[in-house]
Amino acid sequence: MAECDVCFRHCKIPEGGIGFCGARTCESGRITARNYGRITSLALDPVEKKPLARFYPGYQILSVGSYGCNLRCPFCQNYQISWSKEAERFADRADFMSPEELAQLADSVRSRGNIGVAFTYNEPLIGYEFVRDTAKLVKERGMKNVLVTNGTASLRVLEELAPYIDAMNIDLKGFTERYYRDVLKGNREMVMDFIAGAVKVCHVELTTLIVPGENDTEEEIRELSRWIAGLKGPEGEPAGPEIPLHITRFFPRFHMTDRQATDVALIRRLVATAKEELKYVYAGNC
């Protein structure tokens, strides 16, 4: 048995067992990524789809996903590869791609506007070793690396990846302990610490999905955006007001079909509220 230190759960995994995320295991008394190089999704996407509004807009990025996640968002749009019963089958069925192969593939589609690799779709940080190994090779080829993540990982993981990551979109899914703990099965403090650290090492944009009845008040968005505005850059300089925030519309799906899609007018109001503190706020899915 060994203890995983990727996120707040600190899963104690027996030999051959699997952690909460479905992707980390114990081999010969040490924690490894069972999903290393196991690819479930691969597409050349617009950078804006990550979403990144202020990082190489107009370009494409090779987007890659594996399987597993350390949260349990009931509205997950990628549940087939993240944490549903369907996701479990990928442990044995997903195709393997080495870091060298992925870096070479990214290089080969530069002529189509590709700037690098985005690790996305499922939660990439639960398989950070593959991200690290691939991103290093991508960087050596003069290309960019992007993380699309829920930010539920330790600062040790961030430090390992920091030399190779150029941009991140991180979910700040809400701003109450209740929402993170009871609905997402996560840890808000860990996400906030990860965001504060990421701002010091690369370009960061944040996304908040507005779920009716959960995190949809002007008061919560005002508090959330005020916290973002107070974030500091690598030299301690004010960085927060320049951090882009994507306020995104919810649609019923997966295990959360008991409410309607977020009202577009509400999204517009919350965007205006966030703009009291932040320079760049974008409405998503509207």
| CB distance 21 to 70 below 8 Å | yes
Residue at 75 is within a domain: yes
Q: Report which residue type is found at 233.
A: G
Residue at 25 is within a domain: no
pLDDT at 188: 98
**Confidence grade of residue 265 (pLDDT, cut at 50, 70, 90):** very high
Quick: pLDDT tens for 150-181.
Answer: 999 999 999 999 999 999 999 999 999 999 99
pLDDT at 205: 98
What is the separation, in whole angstroms, between the first and last Cα of the chain? 47
Q: How many helices and strands in the chain, by DSSP H and E?
A: 10, 14
pLDDT at 89: 82
pTM: predicted TM-score of the whole model, two decimal places: 0.97
Domain with residue 206: its CATH number is 3.20.20.70
Quick: pLDDT tens for 127-150.
Answer: 999 999 999 999 999 999 999 999
Residue at 6 is within a domain: no
Residue at 24 is within a domain: no
pLDDT at 100: 98
Quick: pLDDT tens for 16-49.
Answer: 999 999 999 999 999 999 999 999 999 999 999 9
Residue at 243 is within a domain: yes
Residue at 104 is within a domain: yes
Residue at 33 is within a domain: no
The answer, yes or no, to whether residue 81 has pLDDT greater than 90, is yes
Strand bridging mode 95-96 / 167-171 = unpaired
Strand bridging mode 41-46 / 60-65 = antiparallel
Quick: pLDDT tens for 226-250.
Answer: 999 999 999 999 999 999 999 999 9
pLDDT at 202: 98
Residue at 230 is within a domain: yes
The answer, yes or no, to whether residue 92 has pLDDT greater than 90, is no
**Mean per-residue pLDDT of the chain:** 97
* Domain carrying residue 211: 38-284
The answer, yes or no, to whether residue 15 has pLDDT greater than 80, is yes
Give all strands (DSSP E) within the chain, no chain letters.
Answer: 2-3, 12-13, 24-27, 30-33, 38-39, 41-46, 60-65, 95-96, 114-119, 144-149, 167-171, 203-210, 245-249, 281-284
pLDDT at 93: 85
The answer, yes or no, to whether residue 91 has pLDDT greater than 90, is no
Number of domains in the chain: 1
pLDDT at 87: 77
The answer, yes or no, to whether residue 84 has pLDDT greater than 80, is no
